[in-house]
Amino acid sequence: MQRKLYKISVIGCGRWGAFIAKYLSDVGHAVTLYGRPGSRKTEELFSTRKNALMELPAAVLTTTSLPDAVKTAEILVISIPSQNLRGLLREIAALPTIPKTLVLCMKGLEIGSGKRLSNVAAEELGEETRVAVWIGPGHVQAFCAGIPNCMVIDSADEKTKRTLVDAFSGDLIRFYYGQDLVGNEIGAAAKNVVGIAAGFLDGLGLPSLKGALMSRGTREIARLIEAVGGNPTSAYGLCHLGDYEATLFSPYSHNRRFGEAFARGEEFGDLAEGYYTVRALTALADQTGVDLPICRAVEDVLYRGASLPDCIRQLFGRSLKNEF
């Protein structure tokens, strides 16, 4: 059956946003890439049509006009830092045209409220906008080298989910239908925090402890997912455990590299979403009464000046009576 093609606008000119625009154009869609006016990153990408990893196809249109990007789009894909989402959505809500289908290609939770990003979108744009999330393992560097991977699209609206999987699937990315929006969003956000913890271990010269971190981290997040109404087994899927290779071991993982640099007392200039997500996770833990020892340890180190070696010693020196 022939694929139905759509007019798609991608919001965000970072490496993921640029790659998404290229990928969706390559599979046949009419794509417009939006970047904020005055942004150095936007100006460089739009003037050269390339970044350090890839070149934009000639078919991809570019714009610094948010109204133009939104009004022409049948599907709007957003790839920006998670804590900037609500502000962007308020700008979009003020426009004459509101997107009917919104895809969040980003992982995180809102600090302060602890809300999932799909909840934030529903609050700002209303129930008329169908919201989906695009999550799962993969790095732009690998995709640009032609290395395929599997990812997940999930939505509370079954028709939207199936439409997007059919429209977005290609040889480079095989999409699965998500079955648990709550669990998939929590799991995808939380894996970045576990990635920072993995970086701590690398920085301390303790990578052999990653096996324990992986098993305990997955169980920890499964408990949280269940407590907030999701399916705990989602933690063992592509949203979380299935993304550990890319997050806990890959040299491209910003969260792992951030944790490693922190442990070594070095500067790290790139975005590490787990730095913000950990505060939202511990707030959820406070609300639900779920024990999140790994997340607590990461938060204590990053925000409370706790000794990293002491926190690691305490974390892995917990009771030997039970595995988890």
Query: Residues with catalytic annotation?
Result: 191
Count of C-beta atoms within a 10 Å radius of residue 21: 30
Distance from chain centroid for Cα 29? 23
Count of C-beta atoms within a 10 Å radius of residue 87: 10
> What is the distance between the alpha carbons of residues 36 and 232, in angstroms, rounded to a whole number?
38
| First vs last C-alpha separation in the chain | 48
User: At which residue do the structure tokens 């639900």 appear?
Assistant: 288
35-60 burial by CB neighbour count: b if 16+ within 10 A, else e?
A: beeeeebbeebbeebebeebebeeeb
In three-state secondary structure terms, 7 is strand
Which of 202, 143, 211, 129 lies closest to 172, judged by CA? 143
Q: Residues near 25 by Cβ (< 8 Å), separated by ≥ 6?
A: 31, 57, 59, 60
